[in-house]
Amino acid sequence: MTIVEPNTYILFLWQNAYTIVIGRNQDAYAELNIEAFSKDGGNLARRLSGGGAVYHDLGNLNFTLIANNEVFNKNGYYDIILQTMKSLGLKAEFNGRNDVTIDGRKFSGNAFYDNGKVSFQHGTLLINCETTKMQQYLTPNENKLQRNSVKSISSRVVNLVELFPEITVDTIKQSLIKTVNGTQLEQTLDTDLVRKRALCYASNDWIIRGRGF
């Protein structure tokens, strides 16, 4: 399985197609219309970290930044993203609530998990995502609905392609790799453990009830 060496950060870049991922402690039925989403071919997943429900498609680029607790820095990801956006001519800001924004509009959110020895920070980058799907399936918090119209909620997120029409998922991948200036590693995985974890993460006990870890 993956081993994090001392003084080393590992950055994974990955994607999901047509998926909603909920936080570890969230009520699946309260966060989205599961029946409609499943009927339309969507996939529901639950993650180990906290935070809110997020929609993924191939217009998103997802990340996971992993390090031993001795060197893990929650600001590390923000530095990487801010520098990457700067290299593309975009001025991004960290708003202090786990979100990264441009002109007040969110294009990246993230969450954390700590198992006592190793921590990770992960989240998503909106590049050319079908944002209408978020409104179609996710159930907004009632308190937020009382304070904001659906239109204003939508206006608070932005796809990077709206700000930089030539941008692509691959553009962001290459820019992130260049910013990190790291080395691609070949990892040896414990396939039996991976298979066992995959079965647990795919079970209703975990996805719907949050039980299993």
| Residue 79 neighbours by CB distance under 10 Å | 12
Does the residue 132 lie in any domain? yes
Inter-residue contact 161 to 128 (CB < 8 Å) = yes
- CA-CA-CA-CA dihedral for 75, 80, 81, 86, to nearest 10: 120
In a domain, 113, yes or no: yes
pLDDT digits (tens, 9 = 90+) for 30-82: 888 899 999 999 999 999 998 888 899 999 999 998 888 888 887 777 888 99
> 186 in a domain, yes or no?
yes
Instruction: Assess if residue 95 is contained within a domain.
Output: yes
> How many whole angstroms separate alpha carbon 203 and alpha carbon 45?
10
Confidence of residue 96 (pLDDT cuts 50, 70, 90): confident
The answer, yes or no, to whether residue 137 has pLDDT greater than 80, is yes
Could you tell me the pLDDT band of residue 114, with boundaries at 50, 70 and 90?
very high
Q: Is pLDDT at 26 greater than 70 in this prediction? A: yes
Residue 70 sits in a domain of what CATH number? 3.30.930.10
**pLDDT tier, 147 (very low <50, low <70, confident <90, very high otherwise):** very low
b/e map of 185-196 (b: 16 or more CB within 10 Å)?
eeeeeeeeeeee
Number of domains composing the chain: 1
Domain-embedded: residue 77 = yes
**Does residue 213 sit within a domain?**
no
Of residues 98 and 38, more confidence is placed in 38
Contact between 94 and 104 under an 8 Å Cβ cutoff? The reply is: no
Structure tokens at 154: 């939508």
Residue 111 host element (H or E): strand 105-114
Helices (H) and strands (E) in the chain, counts: 10, 9
| pLDDT at res. 169 | 96
Tell me which residue of 114, 146, 116 sits closest to 50, measured CA to CA: 114
- Say if 130 falls within a structural domain: yes
pLDDT band at 5 (very low <50, low <70, confident <90, very high): confident
Helix ranges (H only) for 119-180 are 131-137, 142-147, 150-155, 160-163, 169-180
- The answer to whether position 3 is within a domain reads no
- Domain holding 61, by residue range, is 10-171+179-207
Q: Which residue has the higher pLDDT, 159 or 189?
A: 159
Residue 159 has pLDDT above 80, yes or no: yes
